[in-house]
């Protein structure tokens, strides 16, 4: 007997996955969803608040996944030790692999799984998702809800007879001739897969979805054994504004770190925030976000700074101390400590902060970053937006389904 297909949705702590959970629960309550969250132990406090709020609304536990059974230390720190102080970076992203993808794949095991991913209709990316064959990703916010591998199979030239037969049987009479022209035209240098996909989606999203769903029955994908899949009939496309609306309309609200905070630097006014969820020390942060962290989450900034040793730094070419203008040693060559931290049950707490040295810091660099940022923001035409991510246009591009959605 074939195994039951599981439906899973990862809540990353970001706005898009939270909105997706609410959207699907509202629109498709019949889907028996399992919610999970991969905890690095190093998230912003707002992320943990969001998880608690959303759990209340979903009326279901969000399963916390960790690579370790014993959570006496933060999962990130245990791995950091294994990697001997080698910090993750966009080139060596062991954190996502070890703390997000692997625990997720273990949670799923060999079960056939449909995994719902909150990539929006206004994004052009697939994210960093699991490629295991028993896990099928679905993107409900996009016009094209299917993953790239499925689309490749459905639109390959070998699948033309199947697709043509399906369209022949189910397409509306008035559209049939044109649709069959598109279906029967083989892919080539002058007719690429994306062109074919867009032509079929533009003609009729629901019909295309139905054809893909029927095609999947001939494959080993998890949806092959599902009798009905309600998302086949979904032709809604949701973009960034829709996500904020869903969150605002619910009692979950928009995670606080997205909301801009005003600042003033050398007589100029600006606003800053954080553009995404994820670990407070995430190396994908932009400089202005590090300044935001320093000025609004001092303890998290200081904890991040403690990781920097020798050549291992969060940013290339600049340490966090350089950024905030505090030296490593005093005039006698003694090491300057910025804080002390205690850890209990995997939760780190800053128990002492060197406020004296911080009060004397050289703010030239942080001021410069703020001024540059104001300049950049004023050039864009979206500066009236409430959110930093509307100004940092590329801020979400490098993200991944596991951390930031």
Which residues would be at the binding site for ligand SF4 (CB under 6 A)? Answer: 40, 88, 93, 95-96, 99, 278-279, 282, 284, 403
Nearer to ligand SF4, 93 or 370 (CB): 93
Cβ proximity of 260 and 66 under 8 Å:
no
Nearer to ligand SF4, 258 or 284 (CB): 284
CA distances from 188 to 159, 192, 199, 376 (A): 15, 6, 15, 42
Minimum Å gap between C-beta 330 and ligand SF4 is: 32
Query: For residue 209, what are the contacts with CB-CB under 8 A and spacing of at least 6?
Result: 145, 146, 231, 232, 233, 234
Minimum Å gap between C-beta 281 and ligand SF4 is: 6
CB nearest ligand SF4: which residue?
278
Minimum Å gap between C-beta 398 and ligand SF4 is: 9
Q: How far apart are the first and last CA of the chain?
A: 35
Nearest to 272 by CA among 354, 371, 357: 371
Minimum Å gap between C-beta 232 and ligand SF4 is: 32
Nearer to ligand SF4, 284 or 292 (CB): 284
Query: For residue 93, what are the contacts with CB-CB under 8 A and spacing of at least 6?
Result: none
Cβ proximity of 105 and 38 under 8 Å:
no
Nearer to ligand SF4, 33 or 401 (CB): 401
Nearer to ligand SF4, 83 or 170 (CB): 83
Minimum Å gap between C-beta 237 and ligand SF4 is: 27
Secondary structure (DSSP) of 247-312: HHHSSS---GGGB-EEEEETTEEEEE--S--SBTT-TT--HHHHHHHHHH-HHHHHHHHHH-BTTB
Minimum Å gap between C-beta 100 and ligand SF4 is: 6
Nearer to ligand SF4, 128 or 167 (CB): 128
């Amino acid at each position: 007997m074939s195994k039951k297909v599981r439906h899973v949705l990862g809540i990353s702590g970001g706005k898009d996955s939270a909105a997706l959970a609410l959207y699907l629960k509202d629109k498709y309550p019949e889907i028996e969803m399992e919610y999970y969250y991969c905890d690095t132990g190093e998230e912003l406090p707002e992320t943990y608040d969001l998880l608690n709020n959303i759990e209340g609304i979903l009326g279901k536990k969000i399963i916390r996944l960790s690579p370790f059974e014993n959570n006496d230390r933060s999962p990130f720190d245990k791995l950091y030790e294994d990697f001997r102080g080698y910090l993750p970076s966009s080139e060596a992203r062991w954190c996502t692999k070890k703390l997000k993808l692997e625990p997720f794949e273990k949670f799923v095991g060999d079960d056939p799984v449909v995994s719902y991913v909150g990539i929006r209709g206004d994004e052009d990316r697939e994210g960093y998702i699991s490629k295991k064959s028993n896990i099928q990703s679905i993107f409900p916010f996009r016009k094209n809800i299917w993953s790239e591998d499925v689309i490749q199979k459905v639109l390959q030239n070998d699948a033309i007879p199947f697709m043509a037969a399906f369209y022949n049987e189910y397409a509306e009479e008035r559209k049939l001739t044109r649709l069959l022209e598109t279906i029967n035209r083989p892919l080539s240098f002058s007719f690429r897969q994306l062109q074919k996909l867009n032509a079929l989606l533009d003609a009729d999203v629901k019909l295309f979805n139905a054809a893909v769903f029927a095609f999947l029955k001939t494959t080993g994908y998890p949806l092959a054994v599902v009798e009905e899949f309600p998302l086949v009939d979904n032709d809604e496309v949701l973009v960034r504004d829709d996500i904020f609306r869903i969150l605002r309309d619910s009692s979950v609200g928009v995670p606080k770190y997205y909301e801009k905070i005003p600042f003033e630097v050398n007589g100029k006014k600006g606003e800053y925030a954080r553009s995404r969820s994820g670990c407070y020390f995430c190396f994908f942060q932009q400089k202005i976000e590090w300044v935001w962290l320093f000025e609004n989450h001092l303890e998290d900034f200081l904890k991040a700074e403690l990781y920097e040793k020798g050549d291992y730094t969060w940013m290339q070419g600049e340490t966090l101390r350089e950024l905030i203008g505090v030296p490593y040693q005093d005039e006698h060559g003694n090491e300057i400590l910025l804080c002390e931290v205690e850890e209990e049950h995997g939760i780190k707490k800053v128990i002492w902060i060197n406020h004296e040295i911080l009060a004397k810091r050289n703010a030239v660099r942080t001021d410069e970053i703020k001024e540059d940022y104001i300049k950049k923001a004023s050039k864009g035409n979206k500066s009236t937006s409430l959110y930093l991510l509307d100004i940092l246009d590329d801020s979400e591009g490098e993200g991944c389904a596991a951390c930031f959605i």
